[in-house]
Chain A
Amino acid sequence: MIAETRRQRTYPVLLPQEAGDRTPVRRPARGHPMARGLLALVLVAVPLLGHVWLESEAAQRGYRLRELRTEVAELRRERDQLRYRVAALRAPDRLEREAHALGLRPPATGQLAAVAVPPGTLAAAPQAAAPWWRRFGDLLGQRPASAEESRPR
């Protein structure tokens, strides 16, 4: 007779460690889902809002720039008008009329004298009549090199 032997099976069991060996395991922090959502929203929304703000600011500056450009155009317009007026006031015809009104007359006989300047004196004396290209440059505020360099040779 075969004696019935009890079958034995060994199951692995994870036994609790000794209290002294246990090291605390840090679980990943799990915030509240609402807080996490809000955080994500903030992370997305802030740059977006920043972008919108910058765009808006740029647009506002653009409008301001446009206003300034308009102002510049207006000032240019005024400058051209004043320039025209100055040129009209300097017209020989008008100057002659004004001179006559002031009692000025062309020089009569004997009212003109030629003054002979000895050679060499001019070098020390300031130039009375600048050449036309220099006067032209002066008028335009371009006294400088550009006019000077390209003067007639």
Chain B
Amino acid sequence: MRSPAPRGGSRGAPRVLALSRGRVRVVAAGWLVCLVALFARVAYLQTAASGPLRELALRQQVGAVEVRGSRGRIYDRSGGELATNVVRDSVYAVPRAIQDPQAFARTVAPVLRLPRREVLERVRRGGYFVWLARQVPPEVASRLRALGLDGQLGLEPEPQRTYPARGLAAHVLGFAGVDSQGLAGVELQYDALLRSRPGRVLRVRDALGREILEGRQVLVQPQDGADLVLTLDRVVQHVAERELDRTVAEYRAAAGAVVVMDVHTGELLALASAPRYDPNRYADFPEEAWRNRAVAEAYEPGSTLKLAVLAAALEAGVVSPTSHFTCPGSLRVPGGHTIREAHGQAHGVVSLADIVRLSCNVGAAQVGARLGAQFLHRALERFGFGRPTGVDLPGESPGILRPLSAWSGTDPYVVAIGQGVAATPLQVARFVAAIANGGRLVRPHVAAAVREPQGQLRRLVDPTPAPRVLPREVAASLLAMMERTVTDGTGTAAAVEGYRVAGKTGTAQKPSPSGGYEAGRYVASFVGVVPADRPRVVVLVVVDEPRGAYYGGVVAAPAFARIAAQTLWALGIPPSGSGGGRPGSRVEGD
């Protein structure tokens, strides 16, 4: 019997194998051809075509971008933030991607609150990038995102300088522009310190435009700006601004200024000016409102300058605290001018203390004449008049102290009553601080310390010691005379309950640009020291062109009293005679 032939037997297997081998060879040959072609292409791309392709790829994938750090913050002396940064979106358009500029402008302009024509003009300029609005509010950014104009319109986050307390200390702080550059005030003065150093980062993007972090390289590390701590006390600053606003409104005055300064260190606790502005919206206010009048505007100080004349006379020894003068109510001086008392009232025989207490013009003019032009001029120079105080704020006026060669025979008389000389409020306050601290002319300043980005706090100390400009006895004598102004003189409205106050009123007619003085236009002022028994602060209030009343004792003295009282409370200075001079005493609310 024949056995059946095996299925797929020995004769079939080699045949299938041979067939498979043939196919494999064909496939392998195909792969080989493909591989050769691929390698050839790769070789071509890597050699002959590499240059342009590399450039194209680099352009598309790699880019160095500027990375901005954060501008330094500004704090008051107790750590309250006065200037800080928030991130806002800035809006740009891609004109090349906009098919219908009219429709685009119609959609976007109302959201940005811009005229449609303006948006249209910018878009029609063409190109790949054009700013439409910088640093818009969050709600505007949200509305723009909701428009779904991706590709045509974009939002770029940018840091924006903001001032949380709005108008508080605006004239000191100044403001910074959209590119975080200081433009006024401390922001300008300390711009180099506050400003961040931009860095550069090399970014690699994938085909979808997403950043590939492995490719990221920091070429230049960005650096945050340093923080600045000011000497200002925001509570005292608020009190000063509130009372100045109230006084300016009450007397419908054109402007005003307040200085509150530590008499021993020159630290400015408050520096207020009216009219005020909000640095968050500085462009909405006239430039006039930006001016720091306490620093940048000089005025004829009037009777407050009598203190300088008496100080110079006492120091020169031409008068003594017991000297007396006769005041007939008016005095004819060289040059044909007549110096009169405010009400034409004759004071009779007056002592130096009476000259201060009653603000006697005739008595002061006689002291000035006795001192002589040369001594008086030299003394005023030494007291800091006619030159900047060196305060760390921009735009300081040096005031006006004409050279001695330009003085006439009348000047010793008129300068003695505060005319013919112009001083900034800061210069007057600084001189009175010298009286209060025993005769040293301190340098006013607003910056207390710098906090480096690494956290180190570095105090800014003026290495130059305050020069002595008055003997201690003369300063003490003048301070005692000033106290009488408040107890029974022209400045009784400046009294602060519980505290001894030393001060001086000032009422000056405003000079006319055409010569002489303008009728009915005055500058009312009051400068005082509290507490008079342990001087801590000097407060000066200046009100420009008040209406209804114009005497310093009426217009400025009440504001002084309110500011001084609240400053003393805020600083925890105990009332006079309470034994509060000892360390450890403090004021507590009931």
Contact = CB atoms under 8 A, between A and B. Distances in A.
Interface of A: 58-59, 62-63, 65-66, 73, 76-77, 80-81, 83-85, 87-88, 90-93, 96, 106-107, 109-119, 121-122, 128-129, 132-133, 135-140, 142, 146-147, 150-152
Interface string B458-474: 11010000000000000
A132 B585 contact: no
A107, A132, A146: residue with the most chain B Cβ atoms closer than 10 Å: A132
Nearest to B87: A77
Interface in B9-56: none
A104 to B, nearest CB: 11
Q: Is the interface of A mostly helix, strand, loop or mixed?
A: helix
A116 B234 contact: no
B210 A63 contact: yes
Among all A-B residue pairs, the 7 with the closest Cβ atoms: A87-B164, A92-B238, A114-B578, A139-B79, A91-B165, A114-B574, A136-B79
A111, A138, A152: residue with the most chain B Cβ atoms closer than 10 Å: A152
A122 B86 contact: no
Interface in B147-173: 157, 162, 164-168
27 contacts: A59-B214, A62-B212, A63-B210, A77-B86, A80-B86, A84-B86, A91-B165, A92-B165, A92-B168, A111-B589, A112-B575, A113-B588, A114-B575, A114-B578, A116-B574, A117-B586, A118-B584, A119-B582, A121-B584, A122-B583, A128-B586, A129-B586, A133-B449, A136-B451, A138-B79, A146-B456, A147-B457
Contacts, number: 149
B84 interface: yes
A135 B583 contact: no
B234 A92 contact: yes
Contacts of A63: 210
Contacts of B211: 66
Contacts of B589: 107, 111-112
A83 B75 CA distance: 13
Contacts of A111: 589-590
A146 B165 contact: no
Given A62-B214, A93-B238, A132-B79, A109 B497 contact: yes
Contacts of A147: 457
Interface string B435-463: 00000000000001101000111110100
Contacts of A84: 81, 84, 86, 162, 164
Contacts of B579: 114, 116
B459 A116 contact: no
Nearest to A67: B210
Contact of A136 (B212, B456, B457): B457
B78 interface: yes
B84 A116 contact: no
A119 B590 CA distance: 23
Given A114-B585, A152-B461, 6 more contacts: A62-B214, A66-B210, A81-B86, A93-B167, A112-B589, A115-B586
